[in-house]
Amino acid sequence: MKISSGTVHKLPADLKKAITASPKALVAWESISPIARNEWICWTTSVKQETTRKDHVKRVVSELLEGVRRPCCWIGCIHRTDKQISPSVQGILAKRGRSK
């Protein structure tokens, strides 16, 4: 089954499986923009622990079903090259010891 990815990130298998298991979530996924899909993918894959990732995969599906179009309370994908990272996000990354 063909399912859309993001602008930078490819859809990982675990997230694809969860989204395609719910026809309504799949419709919601395909209705959001490639940038929004990219945000969900990055939010899901950027965590350090496997348990957190599993939770994020579940949350993507449940939040898509609720009509949420992007992850809440997250700095956004730092991997995009089509825009500069904002000064506020640069500050957050500096505090975390990471940069683009």
**Coil vs helix vs strand at 50:** helix
> How far is the C-alpha of 39 from the C-alpha of 51, rounded, in Å?
19
pLDDT band at 2 (very low <50, low <70, confident <90, very high): confident
| 13-20 helix and 23-31 helix, angle to the nearest 10 degrees | 120
Residue type at 52 in one-letter notation: T
Per-residue pLDDT tens over the stretch 35-89: 999 999 999 998 999 999 999 999 999 999 999 999 887 767 777 666 676 676 6
- pLDDT, residue 99, reads 53
Contacts of 50 (CB under 8 A, 6+ apart): none
The least confident of 14-23, 30-39, 66-75, 90-99 is 90-99
- pLDDT, residue 73, reads 73
Of 42, 41, 33, 36, whose CA–CA distance to 15 is shortest?
A: 41
- pLDDT, residue 81, reads 65
> How far is the C-alpha of 55 from the C-alpha of 35, rounded, in Å?
22
Task: Provide the token pair at 77.
Answer: 């994908």
Of 77, 91, 88, 96, whose CA–CA distance to 35 is shortest?
A: 77
Q: Where are the domains of the chain?
A: 13-74
User: How many whole angstroms from its chain centre is CA 89?
Assistant: 17
- pLDDT, residue 93, reads 66
